Chains A and B, each alone.
Chain A
Amino acid sequence: ETGVTQSPTHLIKTRGQQVTLRCSSQSGHNTVSWYQQALGQGPQFIFQYYREEENGRGNFPPRFSGLQFPNYSSELNVNALELDDSALYLCASSSGQGVEQYFGPGTRLTVT
Protein backbone atom coordinates (compact mmCIF):
# COMPACT_ATOMS: atom_id res chain seq x y z
CA GLU A 1 0.00 0.00 0.00
CA THR A 2 1.56 3.28 -1.12
CA GLY A 3 0.99 6.53 0.69
CA VAL A 4 -0.07 9.91 -0.65
CA THR A 5 2.44 11.41 -3.04
CA GLN A 6 2.69 14.96 -4.36
CA SER A 7 4.62 16.58 -7.16
CA PRO A 8 6.60 18.64 -7.56
CA THR A 9 8.33 18.95 -4.20
CA HIS A 10 8.86 22.63 -4.65
CA LEU A 11 8.66 25.26 -7.36
CA ILE A 12 9.11 28.93 -7.95
CA LYS A 13 6.71 30.98 -10.05
CA THR A 14 6.31 34.62 -10.97
CA ARG A 15 3.31 36.71 -9.99
CA GLY A 16 0.56 36.42 -12.61
CA GLN A 17 1.59 32.96 -13.78
CA GLN A 18 -0.42 29.77 -13.45
CA VAL A 19 0.57 26.60 -11.60
CA THR A 20 -0.62 22.99 -11.43
CA LEU A 21 0.13 20.79 -8.45
CA ARG A 22 -0.46 17.05 -8.48
CA CYS A 23 -1.49 14.48 -5.90
CA SER A 24 -1.77 10.71 -6.00
CA SER A 25 -4.10 9.39 -3.35
CA GLN A 26 -3.39 6.41 -1.16
CA SER A 27 -4.47 3.09 -2.61
CA GLY A 28 -8.17 2.47 -2.00
CA HIS A 29 -8.99 6.10 -1.24
CA ASN A 30 -11.65 7.92 -3.26
CA THR A 31 -11.56 11.32 -1.57
CA VAL A 32 -8.90 14.00 -1.90
CA SER A 33 -8.69 17.27 0.03
CA TRP A 34 -6.34 20.17 -0.59
CA TYR A 35 -4.99 22.52 2.05
CA GLN A 36 -2.84 25.64 2.00
CA GLN A 37 -0.37 26.11 4.85
CA ALA A 38 1.22 29.53 5.11
CA LEU A 39 4.33 29.95 7.22
CA GLY A 40 3.52 29.75 10.92
CA GLN A 41 -0.09 28.80 10.33
CA GLY A 42 -2.12 25.63 10.39
CA PRO A 43 -3.38 24.09 7.16
CA GLN A 44 -6.40 25.86 5.64
CA PHE A 45 -8.98 23.87 3.70
CA ILE A 46 -9.20 24.76 -0.01
CA PHE A 47 -11.58 22.11 -1.38
CA GLN A 48 -12.35 18.43 -1.47
CA TYR A 49 -13.07 16.03 -4.31
CA TYR A 50 -15.13 12.89 -3.87
CA ARG A 51 -15.51 10.51 -6.80
CA GLU A 52 -14.45 13.20 -9.28
CA GLU A 53 -16.88 15.86 -8.04
CA GLU A 54 -16.08 18.91 -5.92
CA ASN A 55 -17.58 18.13 -2.55
CA GLY A 56 -16.96 21.27 -0.55
CA ARG A 57 -14.92 24.43 -0.72
CA GLY A 58 -13.21 26.70 1.75
CA ASN A 59 -12.81 30.45 1.60
CA PHE A 60 -10.61 30.59 -1.51
CA PRO A 61 -11.27 32.57 -4.71
CA PRO A 62 -12.28 30.90 -8.00
CA ARG A 63 -8.75 31.16 -9.36
CA PHE A 64 -8.10 28.12 -7.17
CA SER A 65 -9.59 25.18 -9.03
CA GLY A 66 -9.14 21.45 -9.10
CA LEU A 67 -9.81 18.15 -10.75
CA GLN A 68 -10.05 14.57 -9.71
CA PHE A 69 -9.41 11.79 -12.18
CA PRO A 70 -11.00 8.32 -12.46
CA ASN A 71 -8.02 6.81 -10.62
CA TYR A 72 -8.74 9.36 -7.82
CA SER A 73 -5.54 11.30 -8.30
CA SER A 74 -6.05 15.04 -8.25
CA GLU A 75 -4.74 18.37 -9.45
CA LEU A 76 -4.84 21.79 -7.89
CA ASN A 77 -4.63 24.69 -10.31
CA VAL A 78 -3.98 28.27 -9.31
CA ASN A 79 -4.32 31.06 -11.88
CA ALA A 80 -3.03 34.61 -11.72
CA LEU A 81 -0.61 33.85 -8.92
CA GLU A 82 -0.20 36.40 -6.17
CA LEU A 83 2.66 36.82 -3.73
CA ASP A 84 0.37 35.67 -0.88
CA ASP A 85 -0.10 32.32 -2.62
CA SER A 86 3.39 31.39 -1.46
CA ALA A 87 2.81 28.49 0.90
CA LEU A 88 3.02 24.75 1.41
CA TYR A 89 0.18 22.99 -0.38
CA LEU A 90 -0.93 19.75 1.20
CA CYS A 91 -3.01 17.02 -0.29
CA ALA A 92 -4.82 14.51 1.90
CA SER A 93 -6.73 11.42 0.90
CA SER A 94 -9.32 9.35 2.71
CA SER A 95 -11.59 6.40 2.08
CA GLY A 96 -14.69 8.55 2.39
CA GLN A 97 -16.02 11.76 3.75
CA GLY A 98 -15.50 12.72 7.37
CA VAL A 99 -12.98 10.02 8.14
CA GLU A 100 -9.27 10.03 8.86
CA GLN A 101 -7.24 11.87 6.23
CA TYR A 102 -3.73 10.83 5.23
CA PHE A 103 -1.47 13.66 4.19
CA GLY A 104 1.15 13.91 1.52
CA PRO A 105 4.53 15.60 2.03
CA GLY A 106 3.37 18.81 0.39
CA THR A 107 4.49 21.07 -2.43
CA ARG A 108 6.27 24.26 -1.45
CA LEU A 109 5.24 27.07 -3.83
CA THR A 110 7.15 30.33 -3.88
CA VAL A 111 5.73 33.25 -5.86
CA THR A 112 8.14 36.08 -6.65
Chain B
Amino acid sequence: AQRVTQPEKLLSVFKGAPVELKCNYSYSGSPELFWYVQYSRQRLQLLLRHISRESIKGFTADLNKGETSFHLKKPFAQEEDSAMYYCALGSGTYKYIFGTGTRLKVLA
Protein backbone atom coordinates (compact mmCIF):
# COMPACT_ATOMS: atom_id res chain seq x y z
CA ALA B 1 0.00 0.00 0.00
CA GLN B 2 1.11 3.53 -0.69
CA ARG B 3 1.64 5.42 2.51
CA VAL B 4 3.49 8.34 4.02
CA THR B 5 4.36 8.32 7.70
CA GLN B 6 5.38 11.31 9.75
CA PRO B 7 5.91 9.88 13.23
CA GLU B 8 6.08 13.16 15.15
CA LYS B 9 2.97 15.31 15.57
CA LEU B 10 4.97 18.03 17.30
CA LEU B 11 8.63 18.88 17.33
CA SER B 12 9.96 21.64 19.55
CA VAL B 13 13.51 22.91 19.21
CA PHE B 14 15.38 25.96 20.38
CA LYS B 15 16.45 28.67 17.98
CA GLY B 16 19.83 27.81 16.50
CA ALA B 17 19.45 24.08 17.13
CA PRO B 18 19.40 21.55 14.27
CA VAL B 19 16.06 20.31 13.01
CA GLU B 20 15.12 16.99 11.47
CA LEU B 21 11.54 16.25 10.48
CA LYS B 22 11.06 12.59 9.70
CA CYS B 23 9.22 11.15 6.74
CA ASN B 24 9.01 7.52 5.68
CA TYR B 25 7.14 6.25 2.68
CA SER B 26 5.83 3.04 1.22
CA TYR B 27 5.64 2.87 -2.58
CA SER B 28 6.43 0.13 -5.04
CA GLY B 29 7.43 2.34 -7.95
CA SER B 30 9.88 5.17 -8.37
CA PRO B 31 8.71 7.81 -5.89
CA GLU B 32 8.42 11.53 -6.26
CA LEU B 33 8.64 13.16 -2.86
CA PHE B 34 7.83 16.64 -1.69
CA TRP B 35 7.79 18.71 1.45
CA TYR B 36 4.97 21.20 1.82
CA VAL B 37 4.79 23.87 4.52
CA GLN B 38 1.89 25.79 5.98
CA TYR B 39 2.67 28.90 7.98
CA SER B 40 0.06 30.30 10.34
CA ARG B 41 -2.97 31.61 8.43
CA GLN B 42 -1.36 30.91 5.05
CA ARG B 43 -2.03 28.32 2.41
CA LEU B 44 -0.13 25.12 1.85
CA GLN B 45 2.95 25.79 -0.27
CA LEU B 46 5.72 23.71 -1.74
CA LEU B 47 8.97 23.86 0.20
CA LEU B 48 11.06 21.48 -1.86
CA ARG B 49 10.95 18.36 -4.03
CA HIS B 50 13.54 15.64 -4.18
CA ILE B 51 14.03 15.88 -7.93
CA SER B 52 15.34 19.43 -7.75
CA ARG B 53 17.83 18.62 -4.98
CA GLU B 54 17.89 22.24 -3.90
CA SER B 55 18.01 23.99 -0.57
CA ILE B 56 15.12 26.29 0.25
CA LYS B 57 15.23 28.58 3.31
CA GLY B 58 18.16 26.49 4.53
CA PHE B 59 16.18 23.24 4.41
CA THR B 60 17.39 20.16 2.56
CA ALA B 61 15.95 16.68 2.14
CA ASP B 62 17.62 13.61 0.71
CA LEU B 63 15.75 10.66 -0.69
CA ASN B 64 17.05 7.42 0.82
CA LYS B 65 15.52 4.59 -1.16
CA GLY B 66 17.12 1.92 1.02
CA GLU B 67 15.47 3.29 4.15
CA THR B 68 12.45 4.63 2.22
CA SER B 69 12.90 7.96 3.92
CA PHE B 70 12.86 11.63 2.93
CA HIS B 71 13.73 13.47 6.11
CA LEU B 72 13.76 17.28 6.15
CA LYS B 73 16.76 18.91 7.77
CA LYS B 74 18.02 22.34 8.70
CA PRO B 75 21.25 22.93 10.60
CA PHE B 76 20.12 26.02 12.53
CA ALA B 77 16.42 26.56 13.23
CA GLN B 78 14.94 30.05 13.16
CA GLU B 79 11.75 31.28 14.81
CA GLU B 80 10.17 31.95 11.42
CA ASP B 81 10.48 28.23 10.62
CA SER B 82 7.64 27.52 13.04
CA ALA B 83 4.90 26.00 10.89
CA MET B 84 3.14 22.79 9.92
CA TYR B 85 5.19 20.57 7.62
CA TYR B 86 3.73 17.86 5.40
CA CYS B 87 5.61 15.20 3.51
CA ALA B 88 3.89 14.13 0.29
CA LEU B 89 4.36 11.26 -2.13
CA GLY B 90 3.56 11.75 -5.80
CA SER B 91 1.70 8.59 -6.69
CA GLY B 92 1.57 7.71 -10.37
CA THR B 93 0.83 10.74 -12.46
CA TYR B 94 -2.00 12.36 -10.69
CA LYS B 95 -2.24 12.39 -6.95
CA TYR B 96 -0.37 13.24 -3.80
CA ILE B 97 -0.47 11.12 -0.69
CA PHE B 98 0.18 13.29 2.33
CA GLY B 99 1.44 12.41 5.75
CA THR B 100 -0.40 13.63 8.83
CA GLY B 101 2.04 16.49 9.30
CA THR B 102 4.51 17.63 11.94
CA ARG B 103 4.12 20.90 13.76
CA LEU B 104 7.51 22.53 14.24
CA LYS B 105 7.84 25.01 17.07
CA VAL B 106 11.06 26.94 17.30
CA LEU B 107 11.52 28.38 20.75
CA ALA B 108 13.38 31.61 21.42
- Which residue numbers of A lie inside 8 Å of B, CB to CB? 4, 33, 35, 40-45, 48, 50, 55-56, 58, 90, 97-98, 100-106
Cα(A98)–Cα(B90), bound, Å: 7
Interface residue B107 (Cβ < 8 Å from any Cβ of A): no
Interface residue B57 (Cβ < 8 Å from any Cβ of A): no
Could you mark each residue 75-105 of chain B with 1 if its beta carbon is under 8 Å from any beta carbon of chain A, else 0? 0000000000010101011111111110000
- A/B pair count, beta carbons within 8 Å: 56
Cα(A4)–Cα(B92), bound, Å: 23
Q: Which residues of B (8-52) have their CB < 8 Å from a CB of A?
A: 32, 34, 36, 43-46, 49
Q: How many residues of B contact A (CB 8 A)?
A: 23
Q: B92 touching A103 by the CB < 8 A rule? A: no
CB distance from B54 to the nearest CB of A (A): 13
Cα(A109)–Cα(B45), bound, Å: 21
Q: B100 touching A98 by the CB < 8 A rule? A: no
Cα(A103)–Cα(B93), bound, Å: 17
Q: B43 touching A55 by the CB < 8 A rule? A: no
Chain A residues whose CB sits within 8 angstroms of the CB of B101 once the complex forms: 41-42
CB distance from B50 to the nearest CB of A (A): 12
Q: A33 touching B100 by the CB < 8 A rule? A: no
CB distance from A59 to the nearest CB of B (A): 11
CB distance from A55 to the nearest CB of B (A): 5
Chain A residue at minimum C-beta to C-beta distance from B38: A103
